[in-house]
């Protein structure tokens, strides 16, 4: 039977006590992390969100009744303790912030008893994630998980403080909105009042924030929940949180400048990290050429080298036919890995195939200067030497080459570079390498749709100097778009938006829209832009990912209090779930009979 | 054709300039609010979110091209102007913060042309709301509406600042969650991955915040979007925003104390209002007895008087039969209204009927001391005199009486009091009367379900001193629940929660639940509470309503950027709307054929 606090007031959190409190009578409350009886003295580790505190019970201080209660305490009981802070009699516990003191209990109340948890509440839990997610309310007690959720709260507060000081207004946009057939799959919400009609949950506040610029709000931000009904990859959630912003009367450099200050502020505030400004910038073209990725991890080298010119006209058909088809031959140099066992090299070839390569050519420059290679026999000694030189290779190096159209070569070598970086332990985990990627292509060619698609979205502004090519060479037009990358992960991205309706029309034409079909899709935004629209630009961060990186978490599920799993369900609440027929009737919808699988 | 900013950078917002900037060359950007040519000088009122600035164009400064552009300017064009700040040559405009200065333009760029808006962008717009909501992006340009949206942003920032300084963590809870059959109607979201299953959008984060207490987060808050699929009354929205909080190891007084500091902080920060602490408290019983309402507007008197004892045994059957049936007879005194025309009194009687009264008895104490009354003939002179005395009435007063069971009498006289307060202009609109209502009944009797229902929710803690009556006289048990009221509007409410499973069991029993049915409904929360739960309590505010009151708005639609109308639709986006059949097929749902109305 639980006791009530009955007027007791907590004076301190557990972790707030230190040597400076010695001699004070305090009242602390929390969960029993451990209880042990050692020679007639009961030691209790008391835990709350601030830390762990050692409480000792002796009958002389706690009285017979208090001591008897202390004997009954088990893990996860909730107790209130009144006692005196003392310098620790035993050895100082250096693992605890409160390790130099203890509280000698004079009074104890059991506020709640507890069953034995289905798994131990401990840091770096070995319990499998499914069980922990089912009992998420217990898993959330783990101090290492708690510290991440607490840091997330600190980070969002820092963001808001900064944005508000920079004149951004936080404005809420609707969650029950209209389905737009562009982009990812929408979550739909049936309307009861308008049977047969549906709201959609927002994939982002994009259109609303552009409207707010049109309405003169000048600087908007929002930490907004967004929804995408996509099949979940490792680090995706059906609902996720976006730090969303939009600014009027600005160009690329203005957006970058304010976001650099934001990132510096957050990093300092949240994890005490000094970010040096300005953050490095790299064009999309350079990022692809050097790292085979538009979100390069620059914490290590092993950059791509274009050897197309060097191997042009060599006898190796894989290389030359790639070149003839307009592609390229590029390589990376795995320094000192010449003696990598064949089995491991074969595994790399398989890895590369997973990234779209037909194969992977390798050349080991052995310590004695001789070569072991999959393709040496197709080349002259001179050609091989030129290739080795082009790759800046020394005896002991392993060279890996891909030959295909550029997009495949980049993808393969970009992936391989990261894989080798991990395998060979080349990545300095203490580094926080921020990087802007700029000048993205405006379009990407879709084989599937046989037309150009907007790489960002159809409202992205082309670079002025490329405007003339919009009709003639759309593939070469660069956009006023930018991504911010941290250690090889895209934290966020954005663009300057088109605010000139003539350019917007040309953009839609380039995308293959008629005026009518464009209007059908983006009607009320286009309407709005007829009544005076300022130049504007914006950016959005994935908050879950940002917090994951700053807290050093392995997964976004560690920085979300109640995450969902891969099939988009919540193991704790068992959502989604069946509902009453009455609810469906009110909404005027029916569940389709399940088709038999053939 | 719009011009680009082309490197121009804004130096100031319009409203930021003052006499101290005289002589500076500035670059301002904004919307043309007005343009007029007066004797070869063009005057432009330039508007941005900070205010309005007068810009003057003369050919001598702006050049022929610049002047020609200025001539072309029309309302809502977006322009950039470079010019020099000067002391105003003409009369100071005292309506403008920038009324002492003007900017003499040397350069102008037209960043965007504009069609003539469908209604004028002006303060206190007379345009009907439907049209303004369709063009919400234009309506949102009105300075009076903008100032409310801006103040909302300021208020939420103040809330977050305060909460964070008081050790509250902002923790996001899921939007895609499980439907609970208790409470209002849920918005449902069909699951594509689990056909036939549905998520529900949260009506509040109640269960999640209690779980967070169970997980040791100690102090939680969130400014959270909530959803209720109810038929909308005047000031309801299908999605609304709640300032939600929960605290561990606290009792009623702790929650009240922190919220008083919060309210004081917000009011000071947002509208410069000093709230005197402590805020007055009133028990639910006293509020009903004195004001006939659990959210009394205490800005004026006209309190209810219980005259049951005075009229007991009188000859007026309406009074005596109400008393015989366990009800009461109560009245209000409309001071000085004895000569109210019969027609107006009749209208009050009709008004009272709308609140559930069978009728309304009145007694005018005429200036000469004689009575005009609907019931005087049933009473002796002595009885009437006693009644007049009990009502503290003087010649010239109008007394209005209701006789019925208490709940009806309170409702009728509470409503009538507010109506008379408005009609007679008794309400001092400069007052901000905060008030705590405490000691709510734990249960209310439901005629419909023929059982007691939880007045707040089934996890609300009874007052310790009433625990013994839980089984014997549940109707008399008071709850540890509290509401905060401002000027007759409920701003928020909350309670201490049950954290003792024995009391929780008794509570469910009193509500007529079996153990099994309770578990079916509230399973994972009850599970969680088996593993050690701290005493905890919380409170939630309706943010939209709070902002409405603090900004002096007439409707919550004025403090929501993109609100919905009564039928839960958005006139701008036309959500909800039809969706592609493909989307429904993927979700495995069908729309029921519409039944013919008979």
Nearest CA in chain B to A575: B178
Name the residue among A160, A225, A239 with its Cβ closest to that of B157: A160
> pLDDT per residue over A337-353, tens digit each?
999 999 999 999 999 99
Mean pLDDT within B532-551:
96
All residues at 6 or more sequence positions from B403 whose CB lies less than 8 Å from its CB, including other chains: B318, B319, B321, B322, B323, B327, B328, B329, B330, B361, B409
Token pair for residue B581? 């059949």
Same domain, B262 and B143: yes
B137 lies in some domain: yes
Name the residue among B47, B189, B568 with its Cβ closest to that of A191: B568
Q: Which chain B positions have a beta carbon within 8 Å of A5's beta carbon?
A: 249, 251, 535
Percent with pLDDT over 90 in chain B: 83
* Residue A515, pLDDT score: 82
* Residue A182, pLDDT score: 61
Q: Is A526 on the interface with B (CB under 8 A)?
A: no
User: CATH code at B356?
Assistant: 3.30.1360.30
Q: What residues make up the domain containing B306?
A: 300-423
pLDDT band at A234 (very low <50, low <70, confident <90, very high): low
Question: Which of B112, B142, B164 is a domain's end point?
Answer: B112
> pLDDT per residue over B414-463, tens digit each?
999 999 999 999 999 999 999 999 999 999 988 888 888 888 888 999 99
Name the residue among A572, A586, A588 with its Cβ closest to that of B591: A588
Same domain, A410 and A320: yes
Q: Which chain B positions have a beta carbon within 8 Å of A251's beta carbon?
A: 5, 7
A514 lies in some domain: no
Strand partners for B36: B43
Nearest CA in chain A to B570: A177
Residue B378 CB neighbours (<10 A): 18
What is the helix (H) or strand (E) element at residue B131, kind and residue range?
helix B129-134
Torsion of CA B137, B141, B144, B145, to 10 degrees: 20
- The tally of CA atoms less than 13 A away on the side-chain side of residue B159 is 24
Interface of A with B in 270-309 (CB under 8 A): none
**Does the pLDDT value for residue B479 go beyond 90?**
yes
Q: Is B81 on the interface with A (CB under 8 A)?
A: no
Same domain, B145 and B98: no
Convert A247-285 to b/e letters by CB count within 10 Å (16 or more is b).
bbbbbbebbbebbbebbbbbbebbeeeebeeebeebebe
Closest CA–CA distance from residue A155 to any residue of chain B (Å): 10
| Cβ contact A581:A570 at 8 Å | no
Please state, rounded to an integer, the average pLDDT across all residues of chain B: 94
pLDDT band at A596 (very low <50, low <70, confident <90, very high): low
B107 lies in some domain: yes
Closest CA–CA distance from residue B523 to any residue of chain A (Å): 9
CA A171 to centroid of chain Cα atoms? 24
Convert A193-228 to b/e letters by CB count within 10 Å (16 or more is b).
ebbbbbbbbbbbbbbbbbbbbbbbbbbbbbbbbbbb
B230 is in an annotated binding site: yes
Single out the residue of B228, B93, B199 nearest to residue B587, CA to CA: B199
Name the residue among A153, A197, A561 with its Cβ closest to that of B577: A197
Interface of A with B in 330-369 (CB under 8 A): none
User: CATH code at A238?
Assistant: 3.30.930.10
Please state, rounded to an integer, the average pLDDT across all residues of chain A: 94
B76 contacts A532? CB cut-off 8 A: yes
**Does the pLDDT value for residue A597 go beyond 60?**
no
**Does the pLDDT value for residue B181 go beyond 70?**
no
* Residue A289, pLDDT score: 98
Torsion of CA B161, A553, A52, A81, to 10 degrees: 60
Name the residue among A170, A173, A573 with its Cβ closest to that of B177: A573
> pLDDT per residue over B91-139, tens digit each?
888 888 888 999 999 999 999 999 999 999 998 889 999 999 999 999 9
> pLDDT per residue over A401-434, tens digit each?
999 999 999 999 999 999 999 999 999 999 999 9
> pLDDT per residue over B143-178, tens digit each?
999 999 999 999 999 999 999 999 999 999 999 999
Closest CA–CA distance from residue A247 to any residue of chain B (Å): 12
B437 lies in some domain: no
B440 lies in some domain: no
B31 contacts A218? CB cut-off 8 A: no
* Residue B518, pLDDT score: 81
Same domain, A227 and A353: no
Number of domains present in the structure of chain B: 3
B188 contacts A189? CB cut-off 8 A: yes
Single out the residue of B585, B490, B33, B513 nearest to residue A594, CA to CA: B585
| CA–CA separation, B191 and B174 (whole Å) | 15
* Residue A598, pLDDT score: 47
Question: Which of B112, B144, B174 is a domain's end point?
Answer: B112
Name the residue among A31, A174, A251 with its Cβ closest to that of B532: A31
Q: Is B96 on the interface with A (CB under 8 A)?
A: no
B394 is in an annotated binding site: no
Q: Is B131 on the interface with A (CB under 8 A)?
A: no
Same domain, A74 and A96: yes
A466 lies in some domain: no
pLDDT band at A450 (very low <50, low <70, confident <90, very high): confident
| CA–CA separation, B469 and B457 (whole Å) | 18
**Does the pLDDT value for residue A29 go beyond 80?**
yes
* Residue A186, pLDDT score: 95
Mean pLDDT within A244-259:
97
Interface of A with B in 455-484 (CB under 8 A): 464
B182 is in an annotated binding site: yes
**Does the pLDDT value for residue A321 go beyond 80?**
yes
* Residue B596, pLDDT score: 58
A141 contacts B502? CB cut-off 8 A: no
B176 contacts A564? CB cut-off 8 A: yes
Q: Is A212 on the interface with B (CB under 8 A)?
A: yes
* Residue A181, pLDDT score: 60
Same domain, B134 and B251: yes
B282 lies in some domain: no
Closest CA–CA distance from residue B242 to any residue of chain A (Å): 12
> pLDDT per residue over B483-514, tens digit each?
999 999 999 999 999 998 889 889 988 988 88
Mean pLDDT within A489-493:
96
Closest CA–CA distance from residue B147 to any residue of chain A (Å): 10
B499 contacts A112? CB cut-off 8 A: yes
Same domain, B103 and B132: no
**Does the pLDDT value for residue B598 go beyond 70?**
no
Mean pLDDT within A285-311:
97
A530 contacts B115? CB cut-off 8 A: yes
pLDDT band at A488 (very low <50, low <70, confident <90, very high): very high
Distances (CA, A) of B264 to A161, A513, B163, B260, B487: 20, 55, 13, 6, 15
Question: Which of A366, A388, A423 is a domain's end point?
Answer: A423
> pLDDT per residue over B399-415, tens digit each?
999 999 999 999 999 99
Closest CA–CA distance from residue A374 to any residue of chain B (Å): 46
Same domain, B549 and B584: yes
A141 contacts B153? CB cut-off 8 A: no
B488 lies in some domain: no
All residues at 6 or more sequence positions from B522 whose CB lies less than 8 Å from its CB, including other chains: B180, B207, B458
- Sheet bearing A361-365, strands edge to edge: A305-306, A328-334, A398-404, A361-365, A371-373
**A68-71 contacts at long range (C-beta below 8 A, 24 or more positions apart):** A69/A108, A69/A109, A69/A110, A70/A35, A70/A42, A70/A44, A70/A105, A70/A108, A71/A37, A71/A42
Q: Which chain A positions have a beta carbon within 8 Å of B192's beta carbon?
A: 185, 229
B594 contacts A196? CB cut-off 8 A: yes
Same domain, B360 and B385: yes
The pTM (predicted TM-score) of the whole model is 0.95
* Residue B597, pLDDT score: 53
Same domain, A251 and A359: no
Same domain, B146 and B261: yes
* Residue B512, pLDDT score: 86
Closest CA–CA distance from residue A110 to any residue of chain B (Å): 10
Token pair for residue B370? 């004689």
A590 contacts B590? CB cut-off 8 A: yes
A583 contacts B188? CB cut-off 8 A: yes
E strands of A228-299, at which residues? 239-248, 281-283
Mean pLDDT within B522-533:
89
Q: Which chain B positions have a beta carbon within 8 Å of A239's beta carbon?
A: 174-176
Closest CA–CA distance from residue A401 to any residue of chain B (Å): 41
pLDDT band at A83 (very low <50, low <70, confident <90, very high): very high
A117 contacts B249? CB cut-off 8 A: no
Name the residue among B185, B239, B585 with its Cβ closest to that of A174: B239
* Residue A520, pLDDT score: 74
> pLDDT per residue over B1-39, tens digit each?
678 888 899 999 999 999 999 999 999 999 999 999 999
Mean pLDDT within A460-473:
95
User: CATH code at B58?
Assistant: 2.40.50.140
Torsion of CA A445, A448, A450, A456, to 10 degrees: -40
Name the residue among A231, A568, A577 with its Cβ closest to that of B178: A577
Same domain, A149 and A250: yes
Name the residue among A531, A535, A587 with its Cβ closest to that of B188: A587
């Amino acid at each position: 039977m639980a006791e009530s606090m009955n007027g007791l007031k907590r004076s301190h959190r557990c972790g707030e006590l230190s040597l400076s409190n010695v001699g004070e009578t305090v009242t602390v409350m929390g969960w029993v992390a451990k209880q042990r009886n050692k020679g007639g003295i009961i030691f209790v580790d008391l835990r709350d969100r601030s830390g762990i505190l050692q409480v000792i019970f002796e009958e002389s201080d706690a009285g017979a009744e208090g001591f008897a209660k202390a004997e009954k305490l088990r893990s996860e009981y909730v107790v209130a303790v009144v006692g005196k802070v003392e310098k620790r009699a035993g050895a100082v516990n250096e693992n605890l912030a409160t390790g130099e003191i203890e509280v000698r209990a004079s009074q104890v109340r059991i506020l709640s008893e507890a069953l034995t948890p289905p798994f131990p509440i401990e840091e770096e839990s070995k319990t499998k994630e499914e069980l922990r997610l089912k009992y998420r309310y217990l898993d959330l007690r783990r101090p290492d998980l708690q510290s991440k959720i607490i840091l997330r709260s600190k980070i969002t507060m820092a963001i808001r403080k900064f944005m508000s000081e920079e004149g951004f207004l936080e404005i809420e946009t609707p969650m029950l909105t209209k389905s737009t057939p562009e982009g990812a799959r929408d979550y739909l919400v049936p309307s009861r009042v308008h049977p047969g009609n549906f709201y959609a949950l927002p994939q982002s506040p994009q259109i609303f924030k552009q409207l707010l610029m049109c309405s003169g709000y000048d600087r908007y931000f929002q930490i907004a929940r967004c929804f995408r009904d996509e099949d979940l990859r490792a680090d995706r959630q059906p609902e996720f949180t976006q730090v969303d912003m939009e600014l009027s009367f600005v160009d690329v450099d203005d957006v970058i400048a304010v976001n650099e200050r934001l990132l510096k502020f957050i990093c300092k505030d949240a994890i005490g990290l000094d970010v040096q400004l300005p953050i490095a910038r790299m064009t999309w073209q350079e990022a692809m050429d050097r790292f085979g990725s538009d979100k390069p991890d620059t914490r290590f080298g092993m950059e791509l080298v274009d050897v197309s010119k060097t191997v042009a006209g060599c006898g190796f058909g894989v290389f030359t036919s790639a070149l003839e088809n307009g592609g390229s031959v590029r390589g990376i140099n795995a320094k000192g890995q010449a003696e990598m066992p064949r089995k491991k090299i074969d595994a790399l070839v398989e890895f590369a195939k997973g990234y779209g390569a037909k194969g992977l050519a390798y050349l080991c420059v052995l310590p004695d200067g001789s070569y072991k290679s999959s393709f040496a026999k197709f080349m002259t000694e001179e050609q091989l030497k030129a290739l080795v030189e082009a790759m800046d290779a020394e005896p002991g190096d392993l060279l890996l080459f891909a030959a295909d159209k550029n997009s495949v070569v980049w993808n393969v070598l970009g992936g391989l570079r990261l894989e080798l970086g991990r395998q060979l332990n080349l990545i300095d985990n203490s580094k926080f390498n921020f990087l802007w990627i700029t000048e993205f292509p405006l379009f990407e060619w879709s084989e599937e749709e046989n037309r150009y698609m907007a790489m960002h979205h159809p409202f992205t502004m082309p670079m002025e100097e490329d405007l003339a090519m919009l009709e003639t060479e759309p593939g070469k037009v660069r956009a006023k778009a930018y991504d911010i990358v941290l250690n090889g992960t895209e934290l966020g991205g954005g663009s300057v938006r088109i605010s000139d309706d003539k350019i917007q029309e040309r953009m839609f034409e380039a995308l293959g829209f008629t005026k009518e079909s464009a209007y059908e899709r983006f009607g009320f935004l286009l309407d709005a832009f007829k009544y005076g629209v300022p130049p504007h630009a914006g950016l959005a961060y994935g908050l879950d990912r940002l917090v994951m990186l700053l807290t050093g978490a392995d997964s976004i599920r560690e920085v979300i209090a109640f995450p969902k799993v891969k099939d988009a369900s919540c193991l704790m609440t068992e959502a989604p779930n069946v509902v009453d027929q009455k609810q469906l009737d009110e909404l005027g919808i029916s569940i389709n009979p399940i088709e038999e699988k053939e």
